[in-house]
Amino acid sequence: MDEPLRSFHLEALAWSVFGTSWFWHESMRSDWVSARYFFDKARDKLRYKLSDPSGTGADVGGYVTGTSMEKAISKMTTAYERCVRAERLPRMATRLGCTRHTAACSGTPTCPDRRSRKVATHPKE
């Protein structure tokens, strides 16, 4: 079966990545950093049993197998890479005079090129 990750599975992944403390966020500089950290750690955790946090011992991700797992890992890798780009964009936006740098997470970061009056794509770093 080829189905997306269930919301409870994502919650359990977040719990396993960030823990139960609300203090974890103090070490994160931005939402992009937090999201990058989650996708980086969660994609590795998908391959292993994730016990139900309620204590039943059931594998929360037991329904994800074969191609479903590979697709989920691929999507998390894409999300991770987009977060990495989004973290870099404020520096690039400052250098290029751009204001719409958050479009990076959609995969199409653009800004006006003032010299040619065309829309330019950000260079990859």
pLDDT attached to residue 90: 67
Report whether pLDDT(118) > 90. no
Alpha helices (H) along the chain: 7-18, 31-45, 66-96
Contacts for 32 with CB less than 8 Å, ≥ 6 apart: 83, 86, 87, 105
> Per-residue pLDDT averaged across 100-120, rounded?
47
For the stretch 83-94, pLDDT in tens is 888 888 766 655
- What percent of the chain is helix, strand and coil (3-state, nearest 5)? 55, 10, 35
Residue ranges covered by each domain of the chain? 7-121
pLDDT of 113 higher than 70: no
Evaluate if residue 62 carries a pLDDT over 50. yes
List C-alpha distances in Å: 89 to 32, 37, 40, 41: 11, 17, 19, 22
Model pLDDT for residues 5-44, shown as the tens digit of each residue? 898 999 999 999 888 665 555 555 667 788 888 999 999 9
pTM: 0.65
Band the pLDDT of 120: cuts 50, 70, 90.
very low
